[in-house]
Structure 1
Amino acid sequence: MTDTSTSTRYAVADTGAGQVRGLWRGDPGAGGSAAFLGIPFAKPPIGPLRFAAPVPVDPWDGVRDALEFAPTAQRGDPGITLIPEPSVPGDATLNVNVFTPSPGRTASLPVLVWIHGGGYVAGSPASPWYDGRAFNRDGVVTVTISYRLGFDGFGHIEGAPANRGVRDWLAALEWVQANIAHFGGDRARVTIAGQSAGGGAVLRLLALPAAQHLFRAVWALSAALADVSPERARAASARLAHLAAVEPTRDGFASVPEETLQSLQETASRPESDDRLAGARAMLTDGLSWGPMVDGDLVREPTLAALRAGVGADKPLVLGTTDDEFTMVLDSAARRLRVVPASLALAKLGVGRERRRAYLSDNGAQRRKGTAAVLGRYVTDAVFRATVVKVAEARAAAPTWVYRFSWPSPTRRWALHCLDVPFWFDCLDDPHVAVIAGDAPPRRLAAALHGAAVAFTRGDDPGWPAWSGAPGATRVFGGEASVPDVIADGYRSVRALV
């Protein structure tokens, strides 16, 4: 329903809890879309609900304004980040934002649900890059969701349900199933997508038996898996309790202000050794400290094990990475490292001799760029790119497509982490994009990547041969002119790490 009684155009939609009023951007029916912001899918996780599973929101009377982004689980100023992700203060942090070209019950459009990244400790669904405007233009309803972060979302707490952040994802997706028809979407045509920790989130959901009824397909950008072991989760929580001077119980943690736990959680997750190299080795070996935990209940086994067992095998998957996700972090050390042999540097990171030899042999072009470039690529491969091959191989014959984003940033040198996101969302006109992609990012590249995402969300294949049919087949977005768009073994350079 559209309200045009004033110069500002509003759209009103039903939800199971009551009606909401969104704002039209552009003209209805002429390429415009309506934004419904900050719709709660659960009660604020405060007081007795702070460490509880999400609880459905109470119904409201009348029409509730959904005109501004609701509070975010990310608190305070996140500082300079590659993706603009603002924090919004407040308690009601469990909410969804819906962008639709056709609010109403009759459209039955495909639906994209986006889960933001941020290492499971940061990030915001309120980023201007996540606005669904371009997907709406192409006939796709878009939803962004929030979830509890860090210790509040994923820490082990005696007496509290585990994986509260995962439960938030499930509750938000249940909200989509129950309500998206009122916004013009088809509940049977839901694709979930995310980047970085959000990419890890959608792979975790793909491999989660309890989530299988909630979506049809998955697109994972630069997925960072967590699969935190119970032992590691308990150790990090015990250290956090020690730092906060409380018992590691629900009552103990509840006695500590949220902002205090958030300020201490980074310290609690770091290795106790002051050796920075030891810390780097631990991160590469053990992964993230806060994130989905293998709890034996909701999350019964690691993501790859569940995929190998066939969970989610009926659902199409697209996944890929940028070529140099984190290589830029070592740019400042390039001069110091140029006298250090690459093999020795990898040995310091704990890479065994045979693996070092094989890895360096497969990465000759990167090796010619210097030791810093090799180490940066190794971190990229160990955390992100090897995951692509492991997931594709774990799914065997299940429909899986693989890609690489290879266009190097003119401002940051590399095809770095997050660079693909504004191309995927086709939001190159956003002023924040120039910082990471320069003043003239190639629109043809956005059309290709975004177009593949739209086709896949509609139910088609993304436009290149599936890995499941031709193992190794990889679509290269933004590569050199001499490189074909599709290559036979696009992730060969990570084979030594798989």
Structure 2
Amino acid sequence: MTDAPAVAAASTPTDAPVVETASGPVRGLRRDGSAAFLGIPFAQAPVGPLRFAAPVPPEPWTEVRDAVEYGATAQRGDPGVTLIPEPSVPGDATLNVNVFTPAPGRDAALPVLVWIHGGGFTAGSPASPWYDGAAFNRDGVVTVSLSYRLGFDGFGLIDGAVSNRGVRDWLAGLEWVQRNIAAFGGDPSRVTLAGQSAGGGAVLTLLGMPQAQHLFHAVWALSPALTNVSIARAGTLSAKLARLAGVPATRDGFASVDEGRLLALREEAEKPASGDPLDGIRDMLAEGLAWGPMLDGELLERPTLEALAAGVGADKPLVIGTTDDEFTMATDGMKGKLRLVPAGVALSRLGMGGARRARYLAANRAQRAKGTAAVVGRYVTDTVFRAPVVRVARARAAAPTWVYRFVWVSRSIGWACHCLDVPFWWDCLDSPVGIEHLVGTGAPPALADALHAAAVSFVRTGEAGWPTWSQRAGATRVFGAGPSERDVVADGYASAGPLV
């Protein structure tokens, strides 16, 4: 089990800040110019009879409660070396928030940023040292990271249990922010949601939910993995998991299976039928993520793109973008096998038809010159991440939407890969944990300054600083292209156009 990272600058008992929440008082850590309050419960531990239930508000307390260590995470075990360091923390009380503020206990009415972590809806943790809000605090922004149930516990279809428990956790965490953030110096009427990968998909899901509109006022989606699992697919996965566990596909049946065993069986249930890597990619592209927000007809009545096209969330500004090669590092290992396979043949194996395939290859000549593995990586990147950016921007029509790309290439990985923009966005390139593995050495501070400044501007004002898509269709800010870091191109996602 990976230990939670230490939070910079511990306080002494005499200057430890205390804030009164709706549930009771909490004591945090004083830092240089800010304070951190960690592991504050926004709901009771989802164990026992609450395991597959909707989140239940925490029991109130009267004594001052220490909030000086990260709370338990839904992610279990040692995740190993990951692109973003997101450690697991043991314990049952996994529904908690971390608050970083420059104005604890003051009526400061500062803008608020709420972060939802990624991890494919099956992994990840809010306890990353990268999500420490020190840089945003420095710039006058109160920062919150929240946890939610993952995988089957969070998103599986269970007879006799409420659906979309992970989504309900997001809503409960945001309700906690509305009730409590003023006590930490934040303004509940100025809340910006942000998230990356599955977290980016989460904030887009919330943007398209009528029930969530009162909980936030703007959204920034980094590399969003927008997922709408059908009832049919969710039912098939649950039935398969129940067969593997030897229990009925009911709440009582699944509750009888130990958490660790159910996690191992869930991973078994997700394995593709074929061992061929191209077949595995094709199946993933066709079916999408196994777990995630489900179209249950109750909490989520229609796909997010349909909701956005119908005008849900149109009053809220959105920034959305991706890195250029989210997935290509994963196909680097296929270079040998694909060396003699023409790019067109590989794309055909992945299900792309002739005329469309020709248009796509023509639009991606530069990538084609890098080899078939690079073309496959870019195709997956475009299918899962980049083409949906265009679809979202078009669906929102005249709603204020800013689009960007992150093109700087990692010095250690060799691509503008998945997660690479995160430490720049958080302005944490000086973090002692994980930066060299993902970024390499010699990362340009000016790029972090530019991307973080855009984020701060958006959180503060609702303006990102370049033309919106509705003003100039296709307008895309390109981060990492050159010294000015202010390049805006006319059609930044043209190479993904044949897939839209």
1:464 aligns with 2:470: no
d(CA) in 2 for partners of 1:255, 1:418 = 37
Size of the aligned set, in residue pairs, is 490
The aligned counterpart of 2:319 is 318
Q: SS state of the match for residue 220, structure 2?
A: strand
Q: SS state of the match for residue 26, structure 2?
A: strand
1:494 aligns with 2:496: yes
**TM-score, normalization by structure 1:** 0.96
Q: Give per-residue Cα distances to partners, 1:259-299, cap 9 Å, x unaligned.
A: 11111112212344555433321210110010000000000
d(CA) in 2 for partners of 1:340, 1:6 = 63
Structure 1 residue 6 displacement after superposition: 4.5
The aligned counterpart of 1:55 is 56
d(CA) in 2 for partners of 1:107, 1:145 = 22
d(CA) in 1 for partners of 2:68, 2:430 = 22
1:16 aligns with 2:17: no
Q: Give per-residue Cα distances to partners, 1:224-274, cap 9 Å, x unaligned.
A: 011000000000000000000000000000000111111111221234455
Alignment of 1:324-335 (within 5 A): 324-335=325-336
**Residues 342 and 13 of structure 1: is their aligned pair in 2 closer, same or farther, counting only changes over 3 Å?**
same
Identity across matched positions, percent: 69
Q: SS state of the match for residue 112, structure 2?
A: strand
d(CA) in 2 for partners of 1:332, 1:91 = 38
d(CA) in 2 for partners of 1:358, 1:375 = 15
Structure 1 residue 483 displacement after superposition: 9.7
Q: SS state of the match for residue 320, structure 1?
A: strand
**Residues 368 and 277 of structure 1: is their aligned pair in 2 closer, same or farther, counting only changes over 3 Å?**
closer
1:141 aligns with 2:142: yes
CA contact (8 A) 2:223 2:320 kept: yes
d(CA) in 1 for partners of 2:266, 2:150 = 11
Structure 1 residue 393 displacement after superposition: 0.5
Alignment of 1:291-370 (within 5 A): 291-370=292-371
**Residues 89 and 409 of structure 1: is their aligned pair in 2 closer, same or farther, counting only changes over 3 Å?**
same
Q: Give per-residue Cα distances to partners, 1:336-380, cap 9 Å, x unaligned.
A: 322211000100111111111010010011111111110110011
* Counterpart amino acid of residue 278 in structure 2: L
d(CA) in 2 for partners of 1:481, 1:110 = 30
* Counterpart amino acid of residue 31 in structure 2: R
d(CA) in 1 for partners of 2:112, 2:273 = 45
The aligned counterpart of 2:117 is 116
**Residues 92 and 482 of structure 1: is their aligned pair in 2 closer, same or farther, counting only changes over 3 Å?**
closer
Alignment of 1:200-219 (within 5 A): 200-219=201-220
Q: Give per-residue Cα distances to partners, 1:60-80, cap 9 Å, x unaligned.
A: 111000000010000000111
Q: Aligned-residue CA RMSD in angstroms?
A: 1.5
Q: SS state of the match for residue 264, structure 1?
A: helix
Q: Give per-residue Cα distances to partners, 1:441-477, cap 9 Å, x unaligned.
A: 1110000000000000002411111012111000000
CA contact (8 A) 2:343 2:375 kept: yes
Structure 1 residue 325 displacement after superposition: 0.4
Q: SS state of the match for residue 30, structure 2?
A: strand
The aligned counterpart of 2:457 is 455
CA contact (8 A) 2:11 2:30 kept: no
Alignment of 1:154-193 (within 5 A): 154-193=155-194
The aligned counterpart of 1:88 is 89
Q: SS state of the match for residue 104, structure 1?
A: coil
d(CA) in 2 for partners of 1:24, 1:328 = 40
Structure 1 residue 332 displacement after superposition: 2.2
d(CA) in 2 for partners of 1:83, 1:237 = 29
**Residues 5 and 127 of structure 1: is their aligned pair in 2 closer, same or farther, counting only changes over 3 Å?**
closer
